[in-house]
Amino acid sequence: MLFPLKAIPGPVLTILREAARHVLRRPVIAVAAVPLLEDGRVVLIRRGDTGTWALPGGTLEWGETLRTGLERELLEEAGIETFLAEPTLVGVFSRPDRDVRFHGVSVIVRVPVREPTKRPVNPLEILDVQAFHPGEVPRPLALGQDDMLDAALAGTLIFE
């Protein structure tokens, strides 16, 4: 009988998934948002692994669309439940040197949102959620995301 995946603790399963990505050596698809509040502030998350601020987002799960992945990541990481309008494409970022863990291809969108209403699901992964005026964003952002944020704020479409 096969070992049931449900019996593997969540953190261990996460590590196994990350290891599988390295073994498979294929790019991983991710989606991240530049969530904008009505007053123009940008909602960012502070990562537990590096302590640096970042755009909320993450890799797609098997069978997920970009839209459902975006909705899940914004809720899990930033506590954002409500979009005020449809997301707008900022770009596709694929430089292999952005993330030391794997080669990620990130689809970045700008999306008007309501204030976060919930706390991050995993407080070890996400230490804080905060909104910043564009000129007050703590830099550098994690994983080389500064150009992603800058493109979103400038309304520039990027394809790399």
Query: What range does the domain containing 115 cover?
Result: 26-159
User: Does residue 144 form part of some domain?
Assistant: yes
pTM of the model: 0.84
User: Does residue 21 form part of some domain?
Assistant: no
pLDDT for residue 1? 44
**pLDDT at 5 exceeding the cut of 60:** no
User: Does residue 16 form part of some domain?
Assistant: no
Number of separate domains in the chain = 1
User: Does residue 11 form part of some domain?
Assistant: no
Percentage of the chain modeled with pLDDT above 70: 91
CB-based burial label for 70 (10 Å; 0-12, 13-18, 19+): buried
d(CA 141, CA 93): 15
User: Does residue 9 form part of some domain?
Assistant: no
Which tens digits make up the pLDDT trace of 131-152?
999 999 999 999 999 999 999 9
pLDDT for residue 45? 98
User: Does residue 5 form part of some domain?
Assistant: no
User: Does residue 143 form part of some domain?
Assistant: yes
**pLDDT at 157 exceeding the cut of 80:** yes
SS3 28: strand
Q: CB neighbours of 28 closer than 8 A, spacing ≥ 6?
A: 21, 59, 102, 103, 104, 105
User: Does residue 3 form part of some domain?
Assistant: no
* CATH number assigned to the domain comprising residue 79: 3.90.79.10
